[in-house]
Amino acid sequence: MGLTFVLAGGCLAASAAALRWRWSPPLAASLLVGLAVRAAVVFLAYGHTPHDVAVGNLNAVQAILHGGDPLTTLRKETWNFLPFSAYVSAAAAKTELPWQYAAKLVPVAFDLATIALVGEFAQSAGYRRNSQLLYALSPVAVFISAWHGQLDPIAVFLGLSALLLARRRRTVAAGVVFGLAVAAESWPVLFLPGLLRCFPVRRWWQLGTSAAAVLAGWALVIPVVLHGSLGKALSTLLGYRGFSGAWGWSGLLRYAHLTGAGFGGPGISGVQRLGTMLAVFAIVAVIVVFRQRSPEDLTVAIILVFLVTSAGVAPQYLLWPAALLCAARRPAGYLYLALASVYVALFYVYAFPRGESYSSWPGVALEVISIGVELSAAVSIPWRSASSREATSRGAEASATVG
């Protein structure tokens, strides 16, 4: 696995060089770089793909191919989304590639597509290509899509696409794509305030109706096509809780022997409820404070504050703000991306395969790094708008000139 660490380190070093010398290759070149790095990691990860994708997602695909609903036939922790992503993964499975390769096709494809989207959110046209290269090289994006093979790249791409359509005032199209994002995974609901920020209140119903129609359609697939129980499916969706006790403040409580780690159990449910309350309160506060800010500033602030306050954050969650942080070009955002890269590399390559994610030195190291990621996420929240930062920069330059 040493080669994988070398590759991750090389990506970080190349990212630093790209920032220092402002490398801005054409989009096609960034896509080729992104594809090469991700293909190499897919190859290196063979035999090491985490259980939830190697087995859990395969079971979900098999359920779909046999006319069953993974949301109601598998354990709650195995699959907790509407069947949209399972259908997409089932299409990849039909390539007849070994599953640990086929499982990565869709996440890698969507992650590559996100490289192009990053440029659309860049602070200025002059930084567009540089931001795209940064995302192409990001170990966070590479490990989540190519090593883990998680579905989050699908949700990220669709969420960003909905936000881009909303910025262009295409209400219904934005609602449809947003509905697909939430159907792929539930967390893109965090994009909703940013989407609403793009439209006057009188047009919110168009966004909501189109998104609700998409979600209702995928929900009806469960009883009509897959012959599952819609009631049980909704209960699973609403009752899902993340793995807590191994991240940030919840990890500190575990080290203090006040709670354990897992999806449930003694002391864990209380921590999960506390995390949910903290996250909801923090998100509402961000919406109030950032209500006049740009849609992308509002969106990335909500995602970051969720990562800071939630009791259960899996490594793939660290991908959520990565594209917008690459586009925003804030020093604190680079620190977040660097620390998150170290976290995912250590987790996937060393700690997780050896079952040492939550004990001995890897667990301690991951806990310490997770606190660093939380702090850098808090600092990465765009407390000042891009316009105010530019004004400050221009003022400083004018003062230097006068001096």
- What phi and psi values does residue 262 have, to the nearest 5 degrees? 145, -170
Can you give the pLDDT at residue 361?
Answer: 67
Can you give the pLDDT at residue 358?
Answer: 64
Q: Is residue 177 part of a domain?
A: yes
Q: Look at the chain and report how many structural domains it folds into.
A: 1
Alpha-carbon distance 261 to 265, whole Å? 8
For the cut 60, the answer to whether the pLDDT of residue 390 exceeds it is no
Q: Is residue 32 part of a domain?
A: yes
Host domain of residue 372: 2-389
State pLDDT tens for residues 123-177: 777 889 999 999 999 999 999 999 999 999 999 999 999 999 999 999 999 999 9
Can you give the pLDDT at residue 171?
Answer: 97
State pLDDT tens for residues 293-307: 999 999 999 999 999
Can you give the pLDDT at residue 357?
Answer: 58
Please, are residues 141 and 158 in contact by the beta-carbon 8 Å criterion?
A: no
User: Please, what is the end-to-end C-alpha distance for the chain in angstroms?
Assistant: 55
Can you give the pLDDT at residue 371?
Answer: 94
DSSP letter for each residue of 322-343: HHHHHHHT-HHHHHHHHHHHHH
State pLDDT tens for residues 212-243: 999 999 999 999 999 888 998 888 888 788 88
Q: Is residue 394 part of a domain?
A: no
State pLDDT tens for residues 16-40: 999 999 999 999 999 999 999 999 9
Percentage, residues of the chain above pLDDT 70 = 93
Average pLDDT (330-359) is 85
What CA–CA distances, in Å, run from 14 to 7, 130, 219, 246, 257? Answer: 10, 12, 44, 30, 41
Q: Is residue 395 part of a domain?
A: no
Lowest mean pLDDT among 159-173, 254-268, 368-382, 388-402: 388-402
Token readout for 56 is 């859990």
Lowest mean pLDDT among 47-61, 226-240, 275-289: 226-240
For the cut 50, the answer to whether the pLDDT of residue 393 exceeds it is no
Element counts in the chain: helices (H) and strands (E)? 21, 0
Q: Is residue 401 part of a domain?
A: no
Q: Is residue 227 part of a domain?
A: yes
Any idea what DSSP says for residue 313? -
Please, are residues 210 and 170 in contact by the beta-carbon 8 Å criterion?
A: no
Q: Is residue 398 part of a domain?
A: no
Average pLDDT (110-121) is 97
For the cut 70, the answer to whether the pLDDT of residue 317 exceeds it is yes
**Hey, how many other C-beta atoms are within 10 angstroms of the C-beta on 88?**
20
Q: Is residue 403 part of a domain?
A: no
- What phi and psi values does residue 150 have, to the nearest 5 degrees? -70, 165
Token readout for 208 is 């909501």
